[in-house]
Amino acid sequence: MKSNQLPAKALSQTHDALLRDLRGLGRFIQANEHTNIAELRTRLAKTQADLDEQFRLEELGGYLDDVQTDEPRLQRTVEELGDEHRELVDALVQIRDEAAVAGDVDEILRLKVHNWIDRLLRHEGRENDLVVDAVDVDCGGGD
């Protein structure tokens, strides 16, 4: 894989910001039964901005492009991850739309946020596995 420290640093910073968003959002929706809907809307908007930036850095000219170019055997996985990016963004937009008209944070909305966070974390794990797989082959590692 190609080495480009500036995009890697930007991706790392964005990834860290997104993980902070997710931890905070997860704690917030579980805090109590009287979660403030305005605060949830704000947190979802911040998460959306960080998610959009992370996916932008991963895709066009990012490490997913590098993996696809350098490791054609992983092309299908890269394409699946790209599809998941769009699905995750669409799902978050839907949650934000629901929160925009909600009078309060009910159990259904809490569950949707919780499930979305779980889905994103599983996606991140698949991306990590992809990078390890690509680096292992590139560096001659592996079992």
Residues in Cβ contact with 30 at an 8 Å cutoff, skipping those fewer than 6 apart: 110, 114
97-138 tens-digit pLDDT: 999 999 999 999 999 999 999 999 999 999 989 988 887 665
Q: How many domains does the chain have?
A: 1
14-46 tens-digit pLDDT: 889 999 999 999 999 987 667 899 999 999 999
Answer yes or no: is 87 within a domain.
Answer: yes
Q: Could you list the residue range(s) of the whole structural domain that residue 100 is in?
A: 5-138
Answer yes or no: is 143 within a domain.
Answer: no
Answer yes or no: is 91 within a domain.
Answer: yes
Answer yes or no: is 107 within a domain.
Answer: yes
The pLDDT of residue 1: 47
Answer yes or no: is 134 within a domain.
Answer: yes
Contact 51, 88 (CB under 8 A): yes
61 or 8, higher pLDDT: 61
What CATH number did the domain enclosing 68 receive?
1.20.120
Q: What is the pTM of this model?
A: 0.87
Answer yes or no: is 18 within a domain.
Answer: yes
